[in-house]
Chain A
Amino acid sequence: MKVWLPVASLGAGLVLGLAAFTHFRWQLPAEYAPYLSVAALAGLDTVFGGIRAGIEGRFQNDIFASGFVLNTLLAAGLAWLGDRIGVNLALVAVLVLGSRVFLNLSLIRRYYLNKRALQRSRQQEESAVAPATTVAAFHHKPGV
């Protein structure tokens, strides 16, 4: 998988965003900071969810894109509503989204570890077979 592509575009977005903010001296009201943070966390959750879905082979771009937009809005809206009614609903969003990020990350990690383990066992099978055959046969083995 081209791991570098999402990472590079994330970095590009970060750098571009920070540069734009400092260059144009944009200022967002300080009251929006918590909502923005929760929205960013929701975006993070959607991206990891998308990667996991892709790995599991059930990636659908409409679900992914709508999830990104709606989840960020919902998380920020929930935090805003919480502030209005005096209950810290931002904590709910942080808890749920944070645990989902961890879950997705662990599944992604497991997938890659499994893949590596699979490759290694395949190699071991081959090397276990190798002594039985002649040295010459080992040299021109069929394509792996």
Chain B
Amino acid sequence: MSVFSANINHRSFTWQISGLCFVLGLLLAAAAHTATQINRSGVGLNRVGFSYGSTAQVPASKIQEDESEIKKLRDQNTALENRLAERRDASSTLNQMLQDTKAFAGLTDVVGPGVQVTLVDSQKHTLPPTDPASTDQIKLNSLIHDSDIANVVNELKAAGAEALSVNGQRVVGPTPVRCVGPVIYVNDVPTVPPYVISAIGDPDALYKGLNLPGGLLDQFRQFDPNMVRVEKKSRLRIPAFAGSTQMHFGRAVESSGKDSK
């Protein structure tokens, strides 16, 4: 009690504490400001995904322009090949093979029956949380991630899909599906929800493959049934791959045996 009731000269330390309180205020402001900046930039400290400078520097309009140009040239090419084939039987067979190969490689538009899967982000994270501890988890589960799209595409391939597109982007061999910040890049073209995945194949087989009990889409439905919609379609049109097909490193082996070492 003697310590507490001692007569203390407050003036001596009030000023100094005030001075350092000012410095502390500056420090807190710096910390708070940095934290807000991180939150506002959309990329949390512990969130995987960072932006690549090179993809951001090419404007989307330029990409679209180039792609329509490529599509036009490819169509011209197909027309020329067809005209060439009219002349002789041999070249007609050759052309048929060429067109089959192009269709397989995803360089032509494809029509046929199939299914259409629509994935949307859940609105659950906007509801008032029942349990504050699970807020982050709900936020994470509410979003459609790049891996989800890649998994659906893979599931459709496994169920026998012959041609696939995500939001109008043809899925071919080298097609990457990757998230950069809030958008998902398919064929290096940014897309946003809703993600419409079209697949041409046996509609029943594709539908059943996706809706396996305990399967991929079940996991979404358990969280929020509104995130997934699967429709069978009697006629779908899937656009051709519009990106570059140039190979820089690999080259075709001309005949088996030679060059195989």
Contacts and interface: CB of A to CB of B under 8 A. Distances in A.
Interface of A: 1-2, 5-18, 20-22, 26-28, 30, 32-34, 36-37, 39-40, 43-44, 46-47, 50-51, 53-57, 59, 61, 64-65, 68, 72, 110-111, 114-115, 118
A62 B23 CA distance: 16
B34 A6 contact: no
A103 B121 CA distance: 46
B29 A13 contact: yes
Q: What DSSP secondary structure best describes chain B's contact surface?
A: helix
Interface stretch (B10-18, B226-234, B247-255): B10-18
B10 A18 contact: no
B63 interface: no
A72 B26 CA distance: 13
A17 B1 contact: no
The 4 A-B residue pairs with the shortest CB-CB distance, nearest first, are A13-B25, A17-B29, A54-B13, A13-B22
Q: What DSSP secondary structure best describes chain A's contact surface?
A: helix
Interface string B1-39: 101111010111111111111111111111111110110
B31 A40 contact: yes
Contacts of B26: 13-14, 16-17
B45 interface: yes
Contacts of B21: 6-7, 9-10, 13, 47
A26 B37 CA distance: 11
Contacts of A26: 33
B8 A57 contact: yes
Given A33-B45, A43-B23, A59 B5 contact: no
Contacts of B27: 17, 36, 39-40, 43, 72
A6 B17 contact: yes
A43 B28 CA distance: 9
A18 B5 CA distance: 40
B124 to A, nearest CB: 28
Interface of B: 1, 3-6, 8, 10-35, 37-38, 41, 45
Nearest to A18: B29
Nearest to A27: B37
Nearest to B25: A13
B18 A5 contact: yes
A118 B3 CA distance: 13
Given A50-B13, A115-B5, A118-B5, A68 B23 contact: yes
Contacts of B20: 43, 46-47, 50, 64-65, 68
B252 to A, nearest CB: 46
A17 B25 contact: yes
5 contacts: A12-B22, A13-B25, A30-B45, A114-B1, A115-B5
Contacts of B24: 10, 13, 40, 43-44, 47
Given A17-B25, A40-B28, A68-B20, A6 B33 contact: no
B30 A17 contact: yes
A10 B22 contact: yes
B120 to A, nearest CB: 30
B253 to A, nearest CB: 47
A47 B21 CA distance: 7
Contacts of B12: 54, 59, 61
Contacts of A118: 5
